[in-house]
Structure 1
Amino acid sequence: MPANKNALIRYKIIDKCLRNRYRRWTIEDLVDACSDALYDMEGIDKGVSLRTVQGDIQIMRSDKLGYNAPIEVYENKFYRYADPEYSINENPLNAEDYELMEKAVCLIGEISENETAKELKKVLSKLKEKLLFLL
């Protein structure tokens, strides 16, 4: 999870921009888009620095927040996703996450047979179905 709300807003705006394949995005365009969004959403009028957006792109590219965004620079100045279908909001569940969730479901399923556990098992059953669908 991003360190603060402003960072999350910037990541979402950068993601929205890079998914728009009908426009060519320079780093300055991304800075402007982030600054405008922060002003509109939070009333912050001091703007966003170039260095901040560069750092955001590096974090989005990394595994630090689990995004591993395939952001590429083309023609030496324009940014886009290498995979046009990619979005940080639709990041699929990886095999490791799936295994952890499956273990959690099994552990929770071992709870005694009281009324709460019965309701919990219904939820777990639905969760298992969704997990199978995701992978």
Structure 2
Amino acid sequence: MPVNRNALIRYRTIDNCLQNRFRKWTLDDLIEACSNALYEFEGIDKCVSRRSVQADIEMMRSDKLGYEAPILVVDKKYYIYSDKNYSIINIPLSNQDLKVLGEVSALLKQFKGFSHFSDLTEMVSKLEDKIHAQKTHSPPVVRAE
């Protein structure tokens, strides 16, 4: 599990770096940023390898994780997102994801009213709002009880 968590930290770090369009990011800059992030979040004092960051960039570009990040190399040196508004955290949900979330929401609704699950009502409402917003491409609605 730690390897997966470390990879996710690196993906988020690379994403944050490439969103900052006021700086040109070389591979060495991304390696340093990833190493700093792993030290900050996990206490790992070991430098991230060049190959790991290159593999992370390729994984982010691919559709294996659903990111399909539009990462380009400019002047054979600098990494950027071709879409300035892109971020791996803003990826829309697929129809299959929405279907599964709908099923989860229906399952969680069955626990409404139980005293052990008092916080569940609000969480289910938020989940339903997010699902509705994704399906209709409209902003979430505020609900009043």
Does TM, normalized by the shorter one, top 0.5?
yes
In the alignment, is the contact (CA less than 8 A) between 1:25 and 1:78 conserved in 2? yes
Structure 2 length as normaliser, TM-score? 0.72
2:31 aligned with 1:31: yes
- Describe the shift of the 1:26–1:126 C-alpha distance in structure 2 as closer, same or farther (beyond 3 A): closer
Identity %: 50
Q: 1:13 to 1:122 in 2, by over 3 A?
A: closer
Deviation at 1:107, TM superposition (A): 6.0
Mapped partners of 2:33, 2:122: distance in 1 = 44
Q: Could you tell me which amino acid in structure 1 is paired with residue 80 of structure 2?
A: R
1:35–1:47 Cα contact (<8 Å) kept? yes
**Alignment-derived partner of residue 21 in structure 2:** 21
Secondary structure in 1 aligned to 2:25? coil
- Cα shift at 1:14: 0.5
Deviations 1:39-96 (A, max 9, x none): 3333322201110100111111122222222211122221111211111122221233
SS in 2 for 1:4: helix
Give me the whole-angstrom Cα distance separating, in 1, the residues matched to 2:107 and 2:18.
40
Report the Cα distance in structure 1 between the residues aligned to 2:31 and 2:58, rounded to whole angstroms: 14
Check the 8 A contact 1:2/1:65 in 2, yes or no.
Answer: no
Which consecutive unaligned segments of at least 5 residues does structure 2 have?
A: 136-145
What TM-score does the superposition give when structure 1 sets the normalisation length?
Answer: 0.77
Distance in 1 (alpha carbons) for counterparts of 2:39 and 2:105: 42
Distance 1:121 1:47, change over 3 A: closer
**1:21 positional shift:** 0.4
Structure 1 residues not aligned, in runs of 5+: none
Provide the aligned C-alpha RMSD in A.
3.0
Which structure ranks higher in relative contact order (CA pairs < 8 Å, sequence separation ≥ 6)?
1
Give the paired residue count: 133
Specify the alignment match of 1:50 in structure 2. 50
1:5-62: CA deviations, max 9, x gaps? 2212211111110000001111111111111222333332220111010011111112
Structure-2 change in CA distance of 1:122 and 1:26 (3 Å) = closer
Confirm or deny that 1:8 pairs with 2:8.
yes
Q: Distance in 2 between matches of 1:59 and 1:45?
A: 24
